[in-house]
Structure 1
Amino acid sequence: MSRCMHVEHHGDRQGPRVLLLHGGGVGGWMWMPLREHLDHRTHLLIPDLPGHDRSAQEPYSSHDDVVRDLASILEDDGPSPTAVVGFSLGAQLAVLLAAVRPDLVDRVVVISAQAEPTPAPGLTLGLLRATSGLARVRWFARLQAKELFVPPALLDDYLRTSAAMTAQSLVAAVGENIRFTVPDGWSAFPGRALILAGSREKSLLRSSAEALHSALSGSALEFVPDAGHGIPLQQPGLLAERLEQL
């Protein structure tokens, strides 16, 4: 069984199953725009990852621990093959889940995943520890929401999530994020894979998308024109089309 991770189910429980994994610092609510474009017969599983929003009481520990929890959630839900869609932090988890549990995943959409380590991670995490309290300051949180393209209708959700996240979970999640590399097993994933990044994202994320694509023969790679680090919120209609075509 998984730890205390909040999971919502939407759509038809007998329909095709899709697991949606949000990015760091947000929550399952970020998929609301995408949900409006998906067939209501789809069975959506939408967790709040540990340390985030309604799972804030469960500290984020490591990607490996979270992937084990996600696998348990899928196993408990039934044997249906699953499409996994992940954004940013959630995209790394989607890659890792597909790599270590391909028996549970038949399709994966990887959006804006960093797959090359950030230089000097210790300095980055030290600065993050020193400034982690800013996440609970409304003016700063509003600036961060703008960087992620959070629409006004979801701003309160973002502010709530930022206020609830502890420094411990923030540092742990970011530490895993900036050290992530293409995992063993990804190159052998037998399902279909689409790797997306915005054309206006940082060069590290664009090169990471290329690295993930190069490592998995048969995967598809697309740089979304005029998109930054926020494809699910900027272009949910395009994302829904790509998922349905995969």
Structure 2
Amino acid sequence: MYVDEVGNAQAPPLLLLHGGGVAGWMWRPVAERLGAKARIIVPDLPGHGNSAAEPYRSHESTAQALVKVLEERAPHGATVAGFSLGAQLTILLAATRPDLVTSALVVSAQAKPLRFPGATLGLLAATAPLARQEWFAKLQAKQLFIPDELLADYVRDSARTSRATLLASVGENIRFTLPAGWSEFKNPALVMVGERERGLMHASARAIHSAAPGSRLITVPDCGHGIPLQRPDLFADHHPFGP
């Protein structure tokens, strides 16, 4: 798994986990605003970006790979922040290896499985070839709030994301339920959801927050399912890097 590091090598470590269909580049606006406040560890998850050659298989296997990254690069623990699919992985890491997660930032995680996942995956399988078309990728980029300066990255990585990765990652995403260990996570946790996200995402955010009594829940005004790209400043302003 490809892993990049930016920021201040002497600062506290921060692991940033991107969403499905994008890659570590989505965190570039956040990293620019954090500046020297963190040593930022940014992997490209399996099947995505520079890790596209190895397809996404499961949340479990990806979490195991991320544990190895943390053990090697932040053995005393790191703040872990994840968006969408990456937020589900953040929850899994906090639930299974709380010793490696000093605090958790969970952004736009679906935590209530769809009732009919087969129909969604069937439609995805039929339309998967469109992701390789530049015109379609540009349309999708608008829905995902990809800014112009990152559009080329999105178009490039859409073309090299395999059908297997799409089906596996989306399948894991829409079937995700909260692991038992999440309710036992005692370190600081912040849950974010965009004001304009679907009702399912708001219900998920409430469920994630309720299951971890020590967590905080923030609804971000005027944002949809794209908070890190729409409001990258929030990640510099909130715990643990804020004043």
Shorter-chain TM band: over 0.9
Corresponding residue number in structure 2 for 1:79:
75
Q: Do the aligned partners of 1:110 and 1:196 also contact (CA within 8 Å) in 2?
A: yes
TM-score, L = length of structure 2: 0.97
Q: Pairwise mapping of residues 2-41 of structure 1 onto structure 2 (< 5 A)? A: 5-41=1-37
- The one-letter code sitting in structure 1 at the alignment partner of 2:176 is F
For 1:155 and 1:39, the matched residues in 2 are separated by: 23
TM-score, L = length of structure 1: 0.96
Deviates more, 1:75-84 or 1:208-217: 75-84
Shift of 1:128: 0.6
For 1:223 and 1:90, the matched residues in 2 are separated by: 18
Q: Do the aligned partners of 2:8 and 2:35 also contact (CA within 8 Å) in 1?
A: no
For 2:130 and 2:142, the matched residues in 1 are separated by: 15
For 2:204 and 2:10, the matched residues in 1 are separated by: 35
For 1:245 and 1:106, the matched residues in 2 are separated by: 16
Deviates more, 1:200-209 or 1:33-42: 33-42
For 1:46 and 1:226, the matched residues in 2 are separated by: 27
Distance 1:142 1:21, change over 3 A: same
Deviates more, 1:113-122 or 1:5-14: 5-14
For 1:85 and 1:176, the matched residues in 2 are separated by: 19
For 2:144 and 2:74, the matched residues in 1 are separated by: 34
Q: Do the aligned partners of 2:70 and 2:77 also contact (CA within 8 Å) in 1?
A: no
Shift of 1:41: 4.3
Aligned partner (choices 170, 193, 196) of residue 192 of structure 2? 196
For 1:30 and 1:209, the matched residues in 2 are separated by: 22
Corresponding residue number in structure 2 for 1:158:
154
Corresponding residue number in structure 2 for 1:93:
89
Q: Do the aligned partners of 1:20 and 1:46 also contact (CA within 8 Å) in 2?
A: yes
Shift of 1:36: 1.3
Q: Pairwise mapping of residues 164-183 of structure 1 onto structure 2 (< 5 A)? A: 164-183=160-179
Q: Partner of 1:49: helix, strand, or coil?
A: coil
Aligned partner (choices 209, 212, 217) of residue 213 of structure 2? 217
Q: Partner of 1:218: helix, strand, or coil?
A: coil
Q: Do the aligned partners of 1:231 and 1:239 also contact (CA within 8 Å) in 2?
A: no
Q: Do the aligned partners of 1:81 and 1:106 also contact (CA within 8 Å) in 2?
A: yes
Q: Do the aligned partners of 1:17 and 1:80 also contact (CA within 8 Å) in 2?
A: no
Deviations 1:25-60 (A, max 9, x none): 000000011011103141110000000010000110
Point out where structure 1 has 5 or more consecutive residues left out of the alignment.
Answer: none
Corresponding residue number in structure 2 for 1:240:
236
For 2:195 and 2:176, the matched residues in 1 are separated by: 21
Cα RMSD of the aligned pairs, angstroms, is: 1.1
- Whether 1:116 and 2:106 are equivalent positions in the alignment is no
For 1:174 and 1:84, the matched residues in 2 are separated by: 21
Q: Do the aligned partners of 2:186 and 2:214 also contact (CA within 8 Å) in 1?
A: no
Q: Do the aligned partners of 1:67 and 1:97 also contact (CA within 8 Å) in 2?
A: yes
Deviations 1:48-73 (A, max 9, x none): 00000100001100000000000001
For 1:65 and 1:48, the matched residues in 2 are separated by: 14
Shift of 1:190: 1.3
Corresponding residue number in structure 1 for 2:142:
146
Deviations 1:166-188 (A, max 9, x none): 00010000000000011110000
Shift of 1:234: 0.3
- The one-letter code sitting in structure 2 at the alignment partner of 1:212 is I
